[in-house]
Amino acid sequence: MVKQYLAMDAQGARVQYSDRKRLWWLLSLLYPLGPLVGMAACAWSGYELALALPIVVSHGLMPMLDYLSGEDENNPPEEVVPELDQDRYYRYLTWATVPLHFVALIASAWWVGEHAMSWGAIVLLAYVAGMHSGLGLNTGHELGHKYTRLEQWLARLVLAVPVYGHFTVEHGQGHHRWVATPEDHASARMGESIYRFALRELPGGVHRAWQIEKKRLQKAGQAVWGWHNTMLQSYAIAATLQLGLVLAFGWVMVPFLAIHNMVAWWQLTSANYVEHYGLLRERLASGQYETPKPHHSWNANHVVSNLSLFHLQRHSDHHAYPSRRYQSLRHFENLPQLPSGYFGMFPLAYIPPLWFKVMDPRLLALPHVRGDMRKVNIDPAHRDKLLQRYG
């Protein structure tokens, strides 16, 4: 499936490019089906603990494969990007991923509803299903940044699986505007643990999304509590889906879905936490913040995890150019670089002392920071302690 992209540069010279990862992008399509791997392992082995296999794959095997495969710093030439962006193969992958998220959740619910399981196994499968639905929000993230009617609707549809219908509104018009500033609840501050961060990130996201959508609807002369509200559209699909699962498989779905939803939300919180930790945009003389630059996001070029997440980890280029499609996202020199992909960074974030030990020195050593605490987004609750420690 090697395809050549051809263009001419400014001097009239021929530019040729082929995406060596073209076939491997199918990993992004397969990742949502992780819970089915656990159920197959359980059926084959007879052990309920086998349901945890997707956790081992995600947070054990994936970081190892990232380490072994190294980092990919290859960029497509800018001359071929327009043609590359128009290649519908890449769009079809994101579109096809949407129903797979529904398949994974419904299959997991069926497994719980139709099998005699211990409560521990039910909780385990709910966690696994939620973990994949949460990282599946990445599909909604990619689609939600595109401005075709189809992709906007697909984003709302896939966000219904983890009941996160506010995300597209909040992320595109809230987070991208305020990223890497103290005003952004989705940008983690230096010294702030992921648990403290979560307490302001989720409620802050829902509130800001509602205010943005309310303002849009009022400006258009439409009812806030009506079908034109894009958040309510997604939430209505979510309610139909999850109520349908309760009716189909019984009241055991109530705790199962509650755990699934919370774990899915936690996965997005984990991603938000690692993506902008401690980074700060400069406030200009006008009082406004500078335009988001690539160095206002933590980047990761690790091959396997990027192939599984539609290049989400090339987050620096994404924030500088939000509408750029995943296959065209670029690597830049001297960016804030994570030591591992997200599958390795999430567990690190769950142990705050270890996270701070690894990431705080890395943050202060960045070329645009160089130990200057005035260029860091610091948690006010820990400011004095951090200034005393690092000066």
Q: What is the DSSP letter of 290?
A: P
Helices (H), 115-148: 119-135, 137-144
Average pLDDT over residues 49-60: 96
Q: Per residue in 330-351, pLDDT tens?
A: 998 889 999 999 999 999 999 9
Q: Per residue in 178-226, pLDDT tens?
A: 999 999 999 999 999 999 999 999 999 999 999 999 999 999 999 999 9
> Residue 131 CB: number of other CB atoms within 10 A?
23
pLDDT for 1 equals 58
pLDDT > 90: what percent of the chain? 86
pLDDT for 333 equals 86
Contact 384, 288 (CB under 8 A): no
Strands (E), the chain: 4-8, 14-18
Q: Per residue in 286-315, pLDDT tens?
A: 989 999 999 999 999 999 999 999 999 999
Average pLDDT over residues 161-165: 95
Return the domain boundaries, the chain.
25-390
| Structure token pair of residue 40 | 């197959």
Q: Which of 10 and 271 is assigned the larger pLDDT?
A: 271
pTM > 0.75: yes or no: yes
| Structure token pair of residue 220 | 């258009």
Cβ neighbours of residue 54 closer than 8 Å, sequence gap 6 or more: 34, 35, 37, 38, 128, 131, 132
| Distance between CA atoms of residues 383 and 190, nearest Å | 9
Name the pLDDT band for 97 (thresholds 50, 70, 90): very high
Flag whether pLDDT at 81 surpasses 80: yes
pLDDT for 208 equals 96
At which residue do the structure tokens 């919180």 appear? 269
Contact 283, 4 (CB under 8 A): no
**Mean pLDDT, all residues of the chain:** 94
pLDDT for 6 equals 78
| Distance between CA atoms of residues 250 and 171, nearest Å | 35
Q: Which amino acid is at 376?
A: V
pLDDT for 4 equals 81
Average pLDDT over residues 25-45: 94
Coil, helix or strand for 311?
coil
pLDDT for 12 equals 79
| Distance between CA atoms of residues 160 and 371, nearest Å | 43
pLDDT for 137 equals 84
| Structure token pair of residue 332 | 């830049």
Residue 266 bridge partners (DSSP): none
Flag whether pLDDT at 232 surpasses 70: yes
